[in-house]
């Protein structure tokens, strides 16, 4: 019974062994993460087009939900930059930012995202996240970072710029630059500089002041709170709000009252695609972070249980005035480094945020939007990795093309269009790549039972049996290509009586390929050539037996290519075997140490 419950509530597992030492570590980690999370939550709410307090709300109940259901010990959930940007992109065209309808739609979006994640868990659809290949995710995050930073620059400059894409934003910023509001610019640029310096040198300076390295590192990451406090003080003392510096203004404090967003069918249909993408992107990001951190302590996370936990977190966000959330990279690393032992650190963080909401919201009245914008810019620019494009290009041009398409799509067409473009191109290129598999004519290495590519090795070819090796599973992307190539090869060898398809690299034959094999067999037959197979793998053979193909194609299935040749052309095969006795050692036709013949050893 307990075990069964623990399957659904992983918290029961760690709660059994919970002790004072773990509590102390969790408490410290919670404190540091809370300090980091306050400015981030406010900023990401602004980025999502919501009142700042929504960011704090989204950092209370969702953390409790993850504590109950999550399998990662150290993942910290809440609002994150990319998901906030996607929220704004989904809601911006529908409602005026800051309106009540906008806020309610954000809750609905979180609810839909939660429902989709839970449905994916139930239907074991976690594999859908695989659609988002690594180049697409990487390109998406870099481009989102640039787009977010460009979108926040107006707050630093104290100007109004509207733009749907990176080009419009950039042109708008340049056009409006002369009208920059100098006091705002001073605060914004000052915060930016402070945060950049703190990020790059803060930990070293704090260590130089005598702090222990780990504490120094974590305090440096909580630095935005300092900027926040300093700017609030400055605005208050210098009456900068009256001088035109835009501040957060009145924040309604108090805990969120549980409410269900109204479930309007039209709006649900409108938001569903965005909710699905938000769920997938959030899940992929969160699981990558959780897996990386778990491996460091030799712990394990369970992706399907993570779907449940993230789903529950988003439902919790929806019911408490929040917006879509997921596991964040920066905060999870801080939580881990600060020594969090169990997900209880997350619950304690939630308590910290709740206390903030209850007692400290008046503090935020004078908080300049420029400081929040600086917080966002510094956070997202660390996600931008343009070098990845070059590295990927060096490895694979197709993957780099998918990455570049995603980036350009996000920058110029928007986040959703960018992801869809990248995924579509990935699938297309993947299909293209497997649609023309490597197909080699092989011959017998003299004096051995091995068969190798005739173009790379000096091998013996039978005059009446053509041996063809296919280095790919046979399925719909390449079924018709196979037909074409076999017809071509048969045409080039008019004297042959048999064609043996050697299948060591064939992991699957789907219905389309089976149909193609039927066609190939029939066409070869019509030309007086009999088809055979060799080296078909066990599971593939099981499948073929379930069809009636083997009953009527008329050829044989040999366990090895050597057996096939020994049966179909014993004379040539015997001669080839005998060649070694005459001293002919096998030699590559062309010296190609980088190809079939490679051998790498490294110490």
Residue with tokens 């969120």: 256
Among 523, 566, 580, 584, binds a copy of itself (CB under 8 A): 523
264 binds a copy of itself (CB under 8 A): no
Rounded least distance, CB 532 to a copy of itself, Å? 10
CA–CA dist 354, 167 (Å, integer):
40
Among 507, 578, 589, 591, binds a copy of itself (CB under 8 A): 507
Residue 299 CB partners (closer than 8 Å, separation 6+): 72, 73
C-alpha 44: how far from chain center? 20
Helix, strand, or coil (residue 234): helix
Among 543, 577, 579, 584, binds a copy of itself (CB under 8 A): 543
557 binds a copy of itself (CB under 8 A): yes
CA–CA dist 33, 545 (Å, integer):
59
Q: Which of residues 135-194 bind a copy of itself (CB under 8 A)?
A: 135
- Judged by beta carbon, residue 36 or residue 136, the one nearer a copy of itself is 136
CA–CA dist 163, 168 (Å, integer):
5
Q: Which of residues 581-600 bind a copy of itself (CB under 8 A)?
A: 592, 594-600
CA–CA dist 557, 490 (Å, integer):
19
- Judged by beta carbon, residue 22 or residue 541, the one nearer a copy of itself is 541
Per-residue mark of binding to a copy of itself, 293-322 (x: CB under 8 A): --xx-x-x--x-------------------
Segment contacting a copy of itself by CB under 8 A, of 86-94, 157-165, 412-420, 535-543: 535-543
Per the CB < 8 A criterion, the answer to whether 457 and 587 are in contact is yes
Token pair in block for residue 4? 């069964």
Segment contacting a copy of itself by CB under 8 A, of 64-72, 176-184, 327-335, 472-480: 472-480
Rounded least distance, CB 506 to a copy of itself, Å? 9
Per the CB < 8 A criterion, the answer to whether 49 and 92 are in contact is yes
CA–CA dist 148, 409 (Å, integer):
14
Q: Which of 287, 256, 303, 292 is nearest to 110 (CA)?
A: 256
- What is the DSSP code string of 186-216? HHHHHHHHHHHHIIIIIHHHHHHTT--HHHH
- Judged by beta carbon, residue 252 or residue 394, the one nearer a copy of itself is 394
119 binds a copy of itself (CB under 8 A): no
Burial class, 160, CB count within 10 angstroms (exposed 0-12 / middle 13-18 / buried 19+): exposed
C-alpha 122: how far from chain center? 21
CA–CA dist 575, 399 (Å, integer):
47
Burial class, 495, CB count within 10 angstroms (exposed 0-12 / middle 13-18 / buried 19+): exposed
Segment contacting a copy of itself by CB under 8 A, of 61-69, 127-135, 202-210, 405-413: 127-135
Burial class, 53, CB count within 10 angstroms (exposed 0-12 / middle 13-18 / buried 19+): buried
Among 165, 270, 556, 579, binds a copy of itself (CB under 8 A): 556
448 binds a copy of itself (CB under 8 A): no
Rounded least distance, CB 73 to a copy of itself, Å? 15
- Judged by beta carbon, residue 210 or residue 593, the one nearer a copy of itself is 593
Rounded least distance, CB 298 to a copy of itself, Å? 6
Rounded least distance, CB 554 to a copy of itself, Å? 8
Q: What is the dihedral of CA 550, 555, 556, 560, to 10 degrees?
A: -120
Segment contacting a copy of itself by CB under 8 A, of 52-60, 122-130, 215-223, 404-412: 122-130
Rounded least distance, CB 306 to a copy of itself, Å? 11
479 binds a copy of itself (CB under 8 A): yes
Residue 180 CB partners (closer than 8 Å, separation 6+): 157, 158, 159
458 binds a copy of itself (CB under 8 A): no
Among 14, 18, 95, 131, binds a copy of itself (CB under 8 A): 131
Segment contacting a copy of itself by CB under 8 A, of 74-82, 109-117, 189-197, 469-477: 469-477
- Judged by beta carbon, residue 31 or residue 540, the one nearer a copy of itself is 540
- Judged by beta carbon, residue 259 or residue 507, the one nearer a copy of itself is 507
Total chain residues near a copy of itself (CB under 8 A): 93
Q: What is the dihedral of CA 181, 182, 184, 186, to 10 degrees?
A: 160
Question: DSSP letter at 98?
Answer: T
336 binds a copy of itself (CB under 8 A): no
CA Rg value for the chain: 31
510 binds a copy of itself (CB under 8 A): yes
- Judged by beta carbon, residue 144 or residue 453, the one nearer a copy of itself is 453
CA dist 351 to 51, 64, 312, Å? 21, 9, 18
- Judged by beta carbon, residue 263 or residue 427, the one nearer a copy of itself is 427
443 binds a copy of itself (CB under 8 A): no
- Judged by beta carbon, residue 239 or residue 542, the one nearer a copy of itself is 542
Per the CB < 8 A criterion, the answer to whether 515 and 548 are in contact is no
Segment contacting a copy of itself by CB under 8 A, of 172-180, 349-357, 541-549, 574-582: 541-549
Question: DSSP letter at 131?
Answer: G
Per the CB < 8 A criterion, the answer to whether 61 and 346 are in contact is no
555 binds a copy of itself (CB under 8 A): yes
Per-residue mark of binding to a copy of itself, 270-289 (x: CB under 8 A): -----------------x--
Rounded least distance, CB 494 to a copy of itself, Å? 9
Per-residue mark of binding to a copy of itself, 392-431 (x: CB under 8 A): x-xxx-xxx-------------------------xxx-xx
Among 18, 95, 134, 176, binds a copy of itself (CB under 8 A): 134
Neighbours of 35 (CB within 10 A): 22
Per the CB < 8 A criterion, the answer to whether 180 and 158 are in contact is yes
435 binds a copy of itself (CB under 8 A): yes
390 binds a copy of itself (CB under 8 A): no
Burial class, 269, CB count within 10 angstroms (exposed 0-12 / middle 13-18 / buried 19+): exposed
Rounded least distance, CB 441 to a copy of itself, Å? 16
Per the CB < 8 A criterion, the answer to whether 109 and 91 are in contact is yes
Per the CB < 8 A criterion, the answer to whether 156 and 373 are in contact is yes
- Judged by beta carbon, residue 272 or residue 541, the one nearer a copy of itself is 541
Helix, strand, or coil (residue 540): helix
Among 238, 542, 570, 587, binds a copy of itself (CB under 8 A): 542
């Amino acid at each position: 019974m307990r075990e069964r419950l623990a399957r659904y509530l992983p918290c029961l597992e760690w709660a059994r062994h919970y002790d004072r030492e773990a509590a102390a570590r969790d408490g410290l980690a919670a404190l540091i993460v809370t300090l980091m999370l306050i400015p981030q939550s406010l900023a990401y709410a602004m980025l999502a087009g919501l009142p700042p307090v929504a960011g704090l709300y989204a950092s209370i109940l969702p953390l409790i939900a993850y504590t109950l259901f999550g399998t990662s010990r150290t993942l910290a959930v809440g609002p994150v930059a990319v998901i906030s940007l996607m929220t704004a992109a989904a809601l911006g065209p529908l409602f005026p930012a800051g309106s009540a309808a906008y806020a309610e739609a954000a809750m609905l979006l979180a609810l839909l995202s939660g429902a989709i994640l839970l449905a994916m868990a139930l239907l074991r659809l976690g594999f859908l996240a695989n659609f988002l290949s690594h180049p697409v995710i990487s390109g998406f995050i870099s481009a989102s970072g640039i787009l977010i930073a460009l979108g926040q620059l107006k707050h630093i400059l104290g100007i109004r710029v509207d733009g749907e894409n990176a080009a419009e934003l950039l042109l708008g910023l340049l056009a409006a630059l002369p009208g920059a509001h100098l006091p705002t610019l001073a605060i914004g640029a000052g915060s930016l500089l402070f945060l950049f310096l703190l990020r790059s040198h803060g930990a070293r300076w704090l260590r130089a002041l005598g702090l222990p390295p780990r504490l120094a590192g974590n305090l440096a990451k909580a630095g935005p709170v300092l900027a926040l406090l300093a700017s609030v003080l400055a605005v208050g003392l210098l009456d900068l709000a009256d001088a035109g510096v835009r501040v957060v203004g009145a924040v309604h404090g108090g805990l969120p009252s549980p409410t269900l967003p109204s479930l309007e069918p039209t709006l649900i249909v409108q938001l569903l695609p965005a909710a699905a993408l938000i769920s997938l992107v959030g899940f992929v990001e969160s699981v990558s972070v959780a897996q990386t951190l778990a491996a460091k302590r030799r712990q394990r996370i369970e992706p399907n249980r993570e779907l449940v936990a993230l789903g529950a977190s988003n439902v919790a966000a929806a019911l408490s005035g929040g917006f879509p959330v997921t596991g964040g990279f920066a905060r999870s690393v801080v939580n881990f480094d600060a020594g969090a032992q169990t997900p209880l650190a997350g619950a304690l963080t939630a308590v910290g945020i709740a206390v903030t909401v209850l007692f400290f919201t008046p503090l935020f009245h004078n908080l300049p939007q420029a400081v929040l914008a600086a917080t966002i810019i510094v956070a997202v620019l660390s996600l931008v990795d343009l070098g990845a494009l070059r590295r990927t290009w060096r490895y694979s041009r197709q993957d780099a093309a998918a990455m570049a398409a995603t980036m350009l799509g996000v920058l110029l067409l928007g986040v959703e269009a960018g992801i869809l473009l990248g995924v579509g191109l990935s699938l297309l290129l993947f299909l293209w790549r497997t649609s023309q598999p490597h197909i080699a004519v092989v011959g017998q290495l003299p004096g051995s039972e091995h068969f190798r590519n005739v173009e790379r090795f000096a091998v013996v070819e039978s005059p009446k049996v053509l041996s063809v090796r296919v280095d790919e599973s046979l399925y719909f992307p390449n079924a018709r290509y196979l037909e074409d190539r076999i017809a071509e090869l048969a045409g080039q060898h008019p004297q042959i009586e048999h064609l043996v398809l050697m299948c060591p690299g064939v992991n699957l034959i789907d219905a389309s390929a089976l149909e193609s094999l039927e066609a190939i067999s029939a066409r070869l037959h019509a030309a007086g050539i009999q088809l055979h197979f060799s080296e078909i793998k066990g599971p593939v053979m099981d499948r073929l037996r379930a069809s009636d193909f083997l009953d009527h194609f008329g050829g044989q299935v040999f366990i090895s290519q050597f057996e096939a040749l020994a049966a179909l052309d014993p004379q040539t095969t015997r001669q080839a075997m005998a060649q070694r006795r005459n001293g002919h050692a096998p030699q590559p036709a062309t010296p190609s140490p980088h190809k079939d013949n490679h051998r790498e050893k490294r110490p």
